[in-house]
Amino acid sequence: MLPGVDASAHVVNCFRAKYTNISLDNFAHLWVTKPAEKLANRYLQEVGESEDIAHCLRHRFFLERLREFHIQATNGVFINIGTGFTNYPYLINTPIASCEVDKPNLIKSKQQRIQKLQSSQQLPERDILFLSTTDLNKSSENKKLFDSLSQWIGSRQSFILMEGLLYWLSQDSVNSLFKHLQQTQTAGSLLALNAFKPSETSKAMFQRLRKFSEKGYGIGNFSPNTLSETFHENLLGYKLIDQANYISLSKQLDEVKELGDKDSVLEEDCYLLCKI
């Protein structure tokens, strides 16, 4: 397991595997390793015990909306930017044309593992295009990526997911991403993402997360990104159609103990926007 954002992908996967009745990710266990479990437990101890449930709620939010999109847009496509070890294409009852984007080393290891899992029938067969990008903080990489995505999407409607991604990027890079997305997606397409509000940075728990990102994941001089509460109002070409945070999501499920103490929960908001 490499340090950096890759290590974060392993940790978050362990969270999804821990409570599959909440995350609905029945394949997460296939990616769990002993080192990842050890780091995930350390994360919960050093950052906060509610984080595993919170990440499961996040995954469920996005999965349920992807399933709805797939029913409504029969020729639609799914793009996951910063895919990590998620399993979204395999959690849809019928295949959806999918593209997964991440760093080259993660994409390579995931492809190799998927081939083995499909050969042993532990994962269903899915047709997935894998694209690698070295650094989304580089404008040249963004342009190269979206040139490829635009060609692949064509005139089809798309569901583009950026789960757990924006936290790691500079604001200039986030602005660049949104500009490329606006130029790439067709009307009726959906954009799903999550982000912290600036107000969350005042929480002790947020500062513990930043510290863990530096020491636990080995990312030096890390400055996490946040999005203003009204960012979607100024996002050209999109309309906000759904929004929820972990506390509100926890109130919707009987199997989850309500996350009521705001100081013990990092309130990332999940957004769903429609291209207009």
Write down the pTM of the prediction: 0.96
Q: Given the structure tokens 């995930």, which residue do they identify?
A: 40
One-character DSSP codes across 8-71:
HHHHHHHHHHHTHHHH--TTGGGG--HHHHHHHHHHHHHT-TTHHHHHHHHHHHHHHHHHHHHH
Q: Are 230 and 258 in contact (CB under 8 A)?
A: no
Domain boundaries, the chain: 5-275
Cα of first residue to Cα of last residue in the chain, in angstroms, is: 41
Cα pseudo-dihedral 2, 89, 79, 106, rounded to 10 = 10
Find the mean pLDDT for residues 85-106.
96
Predicted confidence at residue 3, as pLDDT, reads 60
Q: How confident is the model at residue 229 (pLDDT cuts 50, 70, 90)?
A: confident
Q: Given the structure tokens 């600036």, which residue do they identify?
A: 198
Q: How confident is the model at residue 1 (pLDDT cuts 50, 70, 90)?
A: low
Predicted confidence at residue 2, as pLDDT, reads 57
Find the mean pLDDT for residues 185-211.
96
Q: How confident is the model at residue 260 (pLDDT cuts 50, 70, 90)?
A: confident
DSSP 108: H
Spatial separation of the C-alpha atoms in residues 41 and 47, rounded to whole Å: 10
Q: The domain 5-275: what is its CATH number?
A: 3.40.50.150
More confident residue, 245 or 259: 245
Predicted confidence at residue 20, as pLDDT, reads 98
pLDDT tops 80 at residue 224? yes
